[in-house]
């Protein structure tokens, strides 16, 4: 937690409010409290201390809407965040709070994502009667860039320049955190360009398209469309709210009016800058979708080719199976022809043939006609029964296939 003295604009670090009774005298005169998100729930500030701050400063409930967004949220809901509220009074006094979403270099190893989406919560209550502001800034890490800039302002000879206008603190906040958007969009564009170079010159007949590239494109689309564009649009709406407040102050105080005009123009420049970022991100999103569609079509063609090859192999296997079935059928018919004869010969025994060692040649029994008369009808009966069964089975299978096709 940090504190800014209201009179001298001097910054005090590590003003912990773990025990409100000990720190209350120091907190009564501060102008700016900055809570660190990583310590917020664990050890930086207790619930009763936070309630004491809000009660002592008469902070409205809109601050808690921003405060609660620093708790655990599902990733999809967190990415869609971008909260802002403002309340203006007739004399120019105002109260506002907003959640600023931005990107920063993550500092991770090169094989991981080099960027992180973070947030800063801002609350300000300004009174035109006393010309005093009370601000609360919620940070996302231990050493925020905004805090370093505020410390630099507080320690510089021009430290009072920040207190000339209540909107100056927002200029510092915005100018600190929007500077990385251009680098982030360019890094996404470079990743997309690497894939486009590969996709536009690839020969699908010789080179296989990998699904990993499709996954990378989906990731880029998610970062640009669902995160970057939404965050930039939310920041743009916040800037427009600040511009509306800056342009609505009374013109009675000429010095303050000139300063308000200057702040308004600087906010307008920031708004134009954000519009350019949004335009670049939208163009990048369109190119990502086009590349994604091309890569998807190439994968479909590749899958169709693979399916064609598989179908050809299946057709070849089917033909081989048909040939094998034909061979089996021939063997079956031959077996059916020889089976009755074998059965008849076995049934009647070998008494129809007489082999006598003393006589040369083969002597047939006079009753051999009985064997022929029994074998030939039995053969026709066996083969005929098999043929009738096969025809009925084929007709039944054809009828079932026709019914399935009709359905």
Q: What average pLDDT values come out for the chain (407 residues) when binned by 10 residues? A: 39 37 36 39 55 78 78 56 77 87 84 84 85 81 81 74 83 91 92 83 70 83 87 91 84 80 92 94 91 84 82 80 72 77 70 54 68 81 82 82 77
Whether residue 278 is contained in a domain is answered as yes
Q: Are residues 44 and 131 in the same domain?
A: yes
Whether residue 340 is contained in a domain is answered as no
Q: Are residues 295 and 389 in the same domain?
A: no
Domain that holds residue 247: 178-328
Whether residue 89 is contained in a domain is answered as yes
For 15-63, the DSSP string reads ---SSHHHHHHHHHTEEEEEEEHHHIIIII--HHHHHHHHHHTT--THH
Q: Are residues 148 and 106 in the same domain?
A: yes
Instruction: Tell which residue, 199, 216, 217, 195, has the closest CA to residue 208.
Output: 199
Please tell me the pTM assigned to this model. Answer: 0.66
Q: Are residues 120 and 28 in the same domain?
A: yes
- By CB atoms closer than 10 A (0-12, 13-18, 19+), residue 239 is buried
Whether residue 267 is contained in a domain is answered as yes
Q: Are residues 154 and 42 in the same domain?
A: yes
CA angle at 17 for the pair 12 and 19, rounded to the nearest 5°:
140
The residues pairing with 32 across neighbouring beta strands, listed in sequence order, are 4, 135
Q: What does the pLDDT read at residue 304?
A: 82
Q: Are residues 264 and 221 in the same domain?
A: yes
The gap between the terminal CA atoms of the chain, to the nearest Å, is 73
DSSP three-state, residue 12: strand
Q: b vs e for 242-279, b when ≥16 Cβ sit within 10 Å of the residue's Cβ?
A: bbebbeebeeeeeebeebbebbbebbeebbebbeebbe
Helix (H) or strand (E) holding 296: helix 254-348
Domain limit, last residue, from 294, 328, 362: 328
Whether residue 343 is contained in a domain is answered as no
Q: Are residues 319 and 356 in the same domain?
A: no
CA distance 339 to 239: 98
Q: Are residues 185 and 126 in the same domain?
A: no
Q: What does the pLDDT read at residue 42?
A: 33
Whether the Cβ atoms of residue 309 and residue 210 lie closer than 8 Å to each other:
no
Whether residue 337 is contained in a domain is answered as no
Q: Are residues 361 and 267 in the same domain?
A: no
Q: Which two tokens stand for residue 228?
A: 């970057």
Whether residue 18 is contained in a domain is answered as yes
Domain limit, last residue, from 161, 195, 224: 161
Q: What does the pLDDT read at residue 351?
A: 57
CA distance 3 to 12: 5
Q: Are residues 292 and 317 in the same domain?
A: yes
Q: What does the pLDDT read at residue 15?
A: 37
CA distance 259 to 116: 35
Whether residue 263 is contained in a domain is answered as yes
Q: Are residues 355 and 324 in the same domain?
A: no
The residues pairing with 97 across neighbouring beta strands, listed in sequence order, are 85, 123
Q: What is the domain count for the chain? A: 3
How are strands ordered across the β-sheet holding 2-5? Answer: 11-13, 2-5, 30-36, 132-139, 115-127, 94-105, 84-88
Give the gyration radius of the chain's Cα atoms: 44
Q: Which two tokens stand for residue 257?
A: 């009016």
Domain limit, last residue, from 103, 134, 161: 161
DSSP three-state, residue 59: coil
Q: Which two tokens stand for residue 353?
A: 């043939």
Instruction: Tell which residue, 235, 135, 241, has the closest CA to residue 178.
Output: 235
- State how far the alpha carbon of 313 is from the alpha carbons of 74, 316, 321, 324, in Å: 48, 5, 12, 16
Helix (H) or strand (E) holding 34: strand 30-36
Question: What is the CB neighbour count within 10 angstroms for residue 176?
Answer: 19
DSSP three-state, residue 230: helix
Q: Are residues 358 and 268 in the same domain?
A: no
Q: Which two tokens stand for residue 60?
A: 């409205």
């Amino acid at each position: 937690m940090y504190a800014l003295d209201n009179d001298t604009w001097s910054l005090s670090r590590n003003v912990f409010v773990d025990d409100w009774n000990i720190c209350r005298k120091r907190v009564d005169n501060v102008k700016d409290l900055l809570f660190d998100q990583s310590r917020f729930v664990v050890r930086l500030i207790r619930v009763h201390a936070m309630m004491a701050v809000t009660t002592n400063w008469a902070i409205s409930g809109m601050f808690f809407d921003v405060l609660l967004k620093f708790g655990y949220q599902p990733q999809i809901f967190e990415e869609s965040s971008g909260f802002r509220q403002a309340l203006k009074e007739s004399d120019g006094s105002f109260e506002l709070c907003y959640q600023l979403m931005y990107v920063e270099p993550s500092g991770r190893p090169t094989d991981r994502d080099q960027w992180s989406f973070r947030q800063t919560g801002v609350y300000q209550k300004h009174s035109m009667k006393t010309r005093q502001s009370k601000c609360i800034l919620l940070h996302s890490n231990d050493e925020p860039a905004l805090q370093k800039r505020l410390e630099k302002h507080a320690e510089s000879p021009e430290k009072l320049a920040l207190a000339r206008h209540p909107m100056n603190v927002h200029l510092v906040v915005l100018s600190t955190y929007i500077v990385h958007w251009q680098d982030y969009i360019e890094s996404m564009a470079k990743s997309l360009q690497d894939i486009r170079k590969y996709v536009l010159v690839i020969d699908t007949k010789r080179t296989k398209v990998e699904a990993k590239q499709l996954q990378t494109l989906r990731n880029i689309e998610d970062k640009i469309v669902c995160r970057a564009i939404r965050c930039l649009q939310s920041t743009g709406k916040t800037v427009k709210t600040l511009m509306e407040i800056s342009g609505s102050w009374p013109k009675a105080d000429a010095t303050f009016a000139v300063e308000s005009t200057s702040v308004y123009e600087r906010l307008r420049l920031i708004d134009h800058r954000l519009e350019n970022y949004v335009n670049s991100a939208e163009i990048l999103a369109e190119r990502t979708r086009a590349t994604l569609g091309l890569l998807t079509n190439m994968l479909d063609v590749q899958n169709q080719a693979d399916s064609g090859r598989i179908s050809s192999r299946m057709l070849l296997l089917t033909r081989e199976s048909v040939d094998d079935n034909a061979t089996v059928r021939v063997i079956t018919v031959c077996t059916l022809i020889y089976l009755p004869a074998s059965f008849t010969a076995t049934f009647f025994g070998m008494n129809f043939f007489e082999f006598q060692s003393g006589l040369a040649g083969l002597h047939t029994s006079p009753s051999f006609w009985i064997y022929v008369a029994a074998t030939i009808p039995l053969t026709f009966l066996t083969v005929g029964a098999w043929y009738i069964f096969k025809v009925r089975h084929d007709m039944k299978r054809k009828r079932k296939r026709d019914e399935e096709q009709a359905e």
